[in-house]
A and B are shown apart, each in its own frame.
Chain A
């Protein structure tokens, strides 16, 4: 079964607003990552949060992790049209560390 599942599936906001995407997973993890994919391109790693961390920041990105609820959120503040992309969470799960399991993604559209 799929390890990470994002919510919502699609999100449309105005430029300048904040965008929040959520991810839920099923098994214990060592870390959780967020990736971004522009249409027709490869994925780009955004941020990694370890299981013993609760919050992490990178520029306009803020990631939280709640291992008790098996969930994570990605907040993009002051969104820009260039943030339009799909965002995926990914976990290592019970994979021995070699594999990363990706969710189905949230498609974010930022209107200028």
Chain B
């Protein structure tokens, strides 16, 4: 069966510090991978998506970046966090172009 892992679950970081969030998928090959951010009580904002290794599409220009070093690994990074980077970050995969399956999320607080 397919599963998606995301860590850490919660993270508190000071402004200006780096960020690395990791997402891995098991049980499927060549999935489409997605990073979303969700502000409190709001919908999802698509940040990045990837249709293959090394292929990253950015939806929102900002100080975040994404990488896909392996088929089932998706990493969200920042060199210097801003207060506005606080939020709930969700990784998702899609084995078809339609349905997406989400990880448990990472609650990031930038102080």
Contact = CB atoms under 8 A, between A and B. Distances in A.
Given A33-B98, A98-B32, A99-B49, A40 B44 contact: no
B61 interface: no
Contact of B102 (A43, A92, A97): A43
Interface of A is mostly: loop
Given A40-B107, A102-B43, A107-B41, A45 B101 contact: yes
Contacts of A104: 42-43
Interface residues of B, number: 27
Contacts, number: 59
Interface residues of A, number: 23
Given A40-B105, A98-B49, A99-B49, A45 B44 contact: no
Interface of B: 6, 32, 34, 36, 41-44, 46, 49, 51, 57, 59, 88, 90, 92, 94, 97-105, 107
Interface of A: 2, 30-31, 33, 40-45, 48, 88, 92, 97-105, 107
